[in-house]
Structure 1
Amino acid sequence: MNTVARPTSSLAVVSLVFGILGWTLLPAVGAVVAVITGHMARAEIRRSAGQLEGDGMAVAGLVLGWLAIGLAVAAVLAFILFFGGIAALAALDH
């Protein structure tokens, strides 16, 4: 039985690697690169008509990237709301 191994999309690998880096060493840049390359990889895999693998890696990179971005936005909003509330309370005292 001769089965030919399909190559993995390089963009899918990049998406997964930067998705992991988005949670560790490169929080902002890693997450954005993971999302961009994840979408590019999924499009490349769909266009290849079954010649490329790596959709799971691309999806994992996308999920990690979007989660990191969402958590960063939530943290910024919490920071603004917390310190905005403190500033509002301080303004009421005067």
Structure 2
Amino acid sequence: MSAPVAFRRTSTLAIVSLVSGLLGWSMLPFIGSLVAIVTGHLARSEIRRRPDAFEGDGLAVTGLVLGYAMVAMSILGLLFVFLVFGGVMAAIAAYA
């Protein structure tokens, strides 16, 4: 007689992390990325605590990567805008 096969569910938090990470790049840039980061970390800890019950670590990692990448791109974009406009304003002030 064979042993029963353990059924593992995909973590709901991992799915939310992936979907939020995708939304962070399309419709909800800042909020979606933050949700992807938080739920991605929660999903990975849930999967590590109960590996026999949950799967979806790859989904959680993908959500984390998408979330962190969007946050990094947003910070770089804001830094670029401030530096460009700061340089323009400094040039205007120097010639005025």
How high is the TM-score relative to the length of structure 2?
Answer: 0.92
State how far apart, in whole Å, the 2-side matches of 1:57 and 1:21 are: 14
1:9 aligns to 2:14 (yes or no): no
1:43 aligns to 2:45 (yes or no): yes
* Structure-1 residue corresponding to 2:66: 64
CA contact (8 A) 2:6 2:52 kept: no
Q: CA deviation at 1:66?
A: 0.4
Q: CA deviation at 1:49?
A: 3.4
1:32 aligns to 2:39 (yes or no): no
- Can you give the 5+ residue segments of structure 1 that lack an aligned partner in the other structure? none
SS in 1 for 2:34: helix
Greater shift, 49-58 or 82-91, is seen at: 49-58
Provide, for residues 17-43 of structure 1, a one-character-per-residue CA deviation record: whole Å limited to 9, x for no partner. Answer: 000000011111100000000000000
Q: CA deviation at 1:4?
A: 3.8
Spell out structure 1 runs of 4+ moving beyond 4 A: none
Q: CA RMSD of the aligned region, Å? A: 1.3
SS in 2 for 1:25: coil
Aligned length: 94
Q: CA deviation at 1:6?
A: 1.1
Greater shift, 47-56 or 62-71, is seen at: 47-56
State how far apart, in whole Å, the 1-side matches of 2:61 and 2:44 are: 8
* Structure-1 residue corresponding to 2:21: 19
How high is the TM-score relative to the length of structure 1?
Answer: 0.94
- Which amino acid in the other structure matches residue 65 of structure 1? G
